[in-house]
Amino acid sequence: MPSYKLYYFNGRGRAEVARLIFAAAGEKYEDVRYERDQWPAHKAEMPLGQMPVLEVDGVKLPQSLSIARFLAKQFHLAGKDNFEQAQVDAVVDTIYDCLTKYVPIRFETDEAKKEELTKKFLAEELPKHLQNFETLGKLYGKGGHFFVGKQLTWADLLFFDVGAIILQVDSNAFNNHAWLKQNRAEVEKQPKIAEYLKNRPQTQF
Amino acid sequence: MATYKLYYFNARGRAEVLRLLFAAAGQRFEDSRFEQNTWPSFKSQMPLSQVPVLEVNGTTLVQSQTIARFLARQFLLGGRDGFELAKVEAVVDTINDFVSILSPIRREQDEKKKKEQLQKFLNDDLPKHLQNLEILARLYGNGGQYFIGNNLTLADLTFYDAGETLLQLDPNCLNNHPWLKQNRLLVASQPRIAEYLRNRPKTAF
């Protein structure tokens, strides 16, 4: 039994998908959270001076998606075989493409500019990304509610997490996307995930 | 025996690491290349209207990084176990961190602006990314010339490819990074890869 230690800020951010994977699998780990003022003292302990980092039996692994993919494979939430894993990864990469477009807007400090960029993102970018998610759900989902192969995988968990961010920006974002809505509902009602969502710290980001 | 068909432009771009994987493994594949003028007629056939796309026994896989990871696992170029695979992916993610900064700069139309941004990238961004890669190599490389565990993996092929782009922009950018230079030389001297590099089409990007 390996021992797992996850290091991140006290927030969801780039670590939440890993926490959702631990929760869905019912696996224990040490959930280390640094407040902003504690971080500078620990920065040099992380290989690339960044978080999240996963420590597995004392060896540190950086990069949020690599961490999530590793845990998903450990806990059989990554797809049944190599090709299904690739389908899961394809969905993950496509979700990440959308997140990458949104992140710089989220961190824009000029409020007026941020509002403009957000409007533009919602009108011009987001629709095609949501369309792409549905395309892949249809291509790999075998007619079910999950993105790949009729089973919960970390692609669904990532979409659940990123979906929450999208809904914070526009609560109506999924109104014309019934399949995406249903997918998130399926994730939310998994008993271990429902329990985790009930009990997790409520944080700003 | 799986059949593989790769679709991309007649260029290295986001497909070259995939071609390097096929070459390293000595695996046959159909290398389908569009010219810019024939692309529009193929675009609608691709699930997300993007390339590269890999057709495996008739099923379509999207997303260049996903395809790379899938092929690496298929061809045993992904490390020897789950945790080594995670280290390979962490290195790949770290390479892609700077590739994704570079991509929009290379696409910049305004020549003066492009030159400025490129200088800034080479002087301010790139050094710390190269340093990060050396940190990970020390952490995971067991003291050898490969990024992970004394064996050629996707991590080395990804750096070889990204390095080619960097050296095109600044032939001196690896001068202070002997380990990275040596790593690329080692990749290029693998017999199957040397053969592939000798014979591949010469393209602008």
- What's the CATH number where B172 sits? 1.20.1050.10
- In this structure, the answer to whether residues A136 and A55 fall within a common structural domain is no
pLDDT at B204 over 90: no
Distance of alpha carbon A43 from alpha carbon B74, whole angstroms = 36
Return all residues near A157 (Cβ < 8 A) that are at least 6 apart: A17, A20, A21, A24, A77, A187, A193
Residue B204 in any domain: the answer is no
How high is the ipTM of this complex?
0.85
Tens digit of each residue's pLDDT (9 = 90 or more) over A101-134:
999 999 999 999 999 999 999 999 999 999 999 9
Q: Are residues B13 and B46 in the same domain?
A: yes
* Domain that residue A72 falls in: 4-76+193-199
What angle is formed at CA B130 by the lines to CA B128 and CA B133, rounded to 5 degrees?
110
- How far apart CA B199 and CA B196 sit, in angstroms, is 5
Core vs surface per residue B157-167: b (16+ CB within 10 A) or e:
bbbbbbbebbe
Q: Is it the case that residue A168 has pLDDT exceeding 80?
A: yes
Looking at beta carbons, which pairs linking A180-183 to residues 24 or more positions away fall under 8 Å? A180/A130, A180/A133, A180/A134, A180/A137, A182/A145, A183/A137, A183/A145, A183/A146, A183/A147, A183/A156, A183/A159
Q: Is it the case that residue B36 has pLDDT exceeding 90?
A: no
Which band of pLDDT confidence, cut at 50, 70 and 90, is reported for residue A172?
A: very high
Nearest CA in chain B to A54: B86
Give the model confidence (pLDDT) of A135-158 as tens digits. 999 999 999 999 999 999 999 999
Mean predicted confidence (pLDDT) in A43-57 = 97
Residue B195 confidence (pLDDT): 97
The number of angstroms, rounded, from the C-alpha of A105 to the middle of its chain's C-alpha atoms is 18
Peptide bond before B52: cis, by omega within 30 degrees of 0?
yes
Q: Are B60 and B67 in contact (CB under 8 A)?
A: no
In angstroms, the CA A173 to CA A164 distance is 10
Is A204 within the bounds of a domain?
no
Radius of gyration over every alpha carbon of chain B, rounded to an integer in angstroms:
17
Our count of domains for chain B comes to 2
- Quick check: A61 and B60 CB within 8 A? no
Q: Are residues B97 and B161 in the same domain?
A: yes
Residue B30 lies in a domain: yes
> How far from B197 is each of B14, B76, B161, B192, CA to CA, in Å?
16, 21, 11, 9
Asked if B109 and B174 sit in the same domain, the reply is yes
pLDDT confidence of B164, banded at 50, 70, 90?
A: very high
Residue B118, number of CB atoms within 10 A of its CB: 16
Q: What is the pLDDT of residues B46-87, one digit of tens each?
A: 999 999 999 999 899 999 999 999 999 999 999 999 999 999
Shortest distance, CA B186 to any CA of chain A (angstroms): 25
pLDDT at A122: 95
Same domain for B92 and B110, yes or no, is: yes
**B167 in a domain, yes or no?**
yes
Distance CA A31, CA A24 (A): 15
How high is the pLDDT of residue B79? 95
Give the residue numbers spanning the domain of B63: 4-76+192-199
Number of domains observed in the structure of chain A: 2
Could A89 and B66 be called an inter-chain contact, meaning their C-beta atoms sit closer than 8 Å? yes
CA nearest neighbour of B161 among B191, B195, B126, B197 = B197
Q: What is the mean pLDDT of residues B137-146?
A: 96
Asked whether the beta carbons of residue B82 and residue A56 sit closer than 8 angstroms, the reply is no
**pLDDT tens string A74-93:** 999 999 999 999 999 999 99
Q: What is the mean pLDDT of chain A?
A: 96
Claim to verify: residue A68 and residue A100 sit in the same structural domain: no
By C-alpha distance, the chain A residue nearest B132 is A48
Q: How many percent of chain A have pLDDT more than 90? A: 99
Instruction: Give the gap in angstroms from C-alpha B140 to the nearest C-alpha of chain A.
Output: 9
Among B76, B81, B83, B132, the strongest candidate for a mutation testing the A interface, having the largest count of A CBs within 10 A, is: B83
Cβ atoms of A203 and A12 closer than 8 Å: yes
Given its phi and psi angles, is residue B76 left (phi above 0), alpha (psi -120 to 50 degrees) or beta?
left
Residue A205 lies in a domain: no
Band the pLDDT of B1: cuts 50, 70, 90.
Answer: confident
Contact status, residue A133 vs residue A180, Cβ threshold 8 Å:
yes
The answer to whether B161 touches B20, Cβ cutoff 8 Å, is: yes
Contact A114, A102 (CB under 8 A): no
> Could you tell me the two tokens for B197?
């590099």
**pLDDT of A177 over the 80 cut:** yes
Question: Is 90 exceeded by the pLDDT of residue A204?
Answer: no
The residue-averaged pLDDT of A19-36 equals 97
A173 pLDDT higher than 90: yes
Q: How far is A198 from chain B (nearest CA, A)?
A: 30
Which residue's entry shows tokens 């495996």? B56
A109 and A61 housed in the same domain: no
In this structure, what CATH number is given to the domain that contains residue B29? 3.40.30.10
Residues from B contacting A (CB-CB < 8 Å) are: 47-48, 56, 59-63, 65-67, 69-70, 73-74, 82-83, 85-87, 89-90, 92-94, 100, 132, 135-136, 139
A95 neighbors A158 (Cβ within 8 angstroms): yes
Q: Looking at this protein, which amino acid is placed at residue B184?
A: R
Same domain, A120 and A32: no
